[in-house]
Amino acid sequence: MKAVRFFGHKDVRVVNDLEKPVPKGDEVLLKIGGAGVCHSDLHIIDEGTVVGTVFTLGHENAGWIEEIGENVEGYKKGDAVLVYGPWGCGHCKPCQQSKENYCDHQSEQAYGGGLGLDGGMADYMLVPSSRLLVPIFDLDPVIAAPLTDGALTPYSAIKRSLPKLMPDEFVVVIGVGGLGHVALQILREISGAAIIACDVTEDKLAFAKELGAAFTINSKDADAAEQIHKITGIKKAKVVIDFVGATSTIDLGTKVVSLDGDLTIVGLGGGHYQYSMNVLPFGVSMTNPYWGSRTELMEVVGLARQKKIHIEIEKHKLDDANEVYDRMRQGKIKGRAVLIP
């Protein structure tokens, strides 16, 4: 079996000698249709966020059921499914509420397949429990694979602020990349707020306009905050969602978020923020959400099946994994890259 394996710091290899897993109990073996490539992979490969273990990469996975364990019910060979990414214990209160992304035992275990345990950049993937599967019905697994993170993460971040996203308010989206370009579509479909998109390249700002942004701002501009203030007026933006997470973008967010607003930092850009009560407006909720719940992934599938959201993808072979990661490092991926066995 072919797979893209992580062996250690900056050591990723495509191997051809793995045995095809055999599921038992509640395990499910998937024939992979597509595995999304994510910036989180680079945190593992380049920065060593996961150490001391060798595993198959890929945490955005979709495919068809190949074989089921003897205890699996409700699924059969050939069913098209997504794999929910964050794998919790399955027993604690958050897990029972389908929020395995906030499992009580997260600090004691790997985050999931492709994040310390074997993921889906392979011909086949062994999923430890059928509870981690979400049916996709008529969706193509190749196109659907990035929904598991590329759409679920922005959807969950937006949903928590939905009561504030009224038609007379503004929402600022910082970063129109793999997550940000999906966030714009979700905001367009489920919220009434006017969308202001920020990025550092003119092509991405033009792309943001196509996806529903009412206004675009180049966040490299020294007066980016002032430009946003001219749009929002004195009330500022009720919600700011930062898909970059650099110090400069966090700083921009604090300048444009309104009183009693939400400043949500999704991006893993390594930024820092030093709190000051004289800078952050009163009542602001500053959060750093992680992924989303299983039920939210079902809702994301619903949006995709209704063609209300679409992830821009590039298709590549498993053998091209290292080349794709290099292009991602250089910022040359538009939307999401998907590896296909």
Topology of domain 3-149+292-340 in CATH is Quinone Oxidoreductase; Chain A, domain 1 (3.90.180)
Tens of pLDDT, residues 157-185? 999 999 999 999 999 999 998 899 999 99
Q: Which two tokens stand for residue 218?
A: 């180049």
In angstroms, the CA 129 to CA 131 distance is 5
Tokens 């089921």 belong to: 68
Residues carrying CATH 3.40.50.720, the chain: 161-287
pLDDT band at 244 (very low <50, low <70, confident <90, very high): very high
Tens of pLDDT, residues 60-108? 999 999 999 999 999 999 999 999 999 999 999 999 999 999 999 998 8
Q: Is the pLDDT of residue 277 over 90?
A: no
In angstroms, the CA 144 to CA 202 distance is 28
In angstroms, the CA 8 to CA 321 distance is 15
Q: How high is the pLDDT of residue 107?
A: 86
Q: How high is the pLDDT of residue 327?
A: 95
Long-range contacts of 68-71 (CB under 8 A, 24+ apart): 68/23, 68/27, 68/28, 68/29, 68/130, 69/23, 69/24, 69/25, 69/26, 69/27, 69/28, 70/24, 70/25, 71/25, 71/26
Q: Which two tokens stand for residue 341?
A: 């066995």
In angstroms, the CA 152 to CA 139 distance is 16
Residues carrying CATH 3.90.180.10, the chain: 3-149+292-340
The contacts of residue 241 (CB under 8 Å, 6+ apart) are: 154, 157, 158, 161, 171, 172, 173, 174, 183, 264, 266
The contacts of residue 234 (CB under 8 Å, 6+ apart) are: none
Q: How high is the pLDDT of residue 108?
A: 86
Which residues lie across from 13 on neighbouring strands?
5
- What mean pLDDT is predicted for residues 108-130? 95
Tens of pLDDT, residues 44-55? 999 888 888 999
Topology of domain 161-287 in CATH is Rossmann fold (3.40.50)
Q: Which two tokens stand for residue 132?
A: 């981690």
Count Cβ atoms below 10 Å from residue 179 Cβ, excluding itself: 27
Within a 13 Å sphere around the CA of 77, how many CA atoms are in the beta-carbon half? 5
| Least confident interval from 167-171, 237-241, 274-278 | 274-278
Amino acid at site 100? E
- What mean pLDDT is predicted for residues 117-123? 97
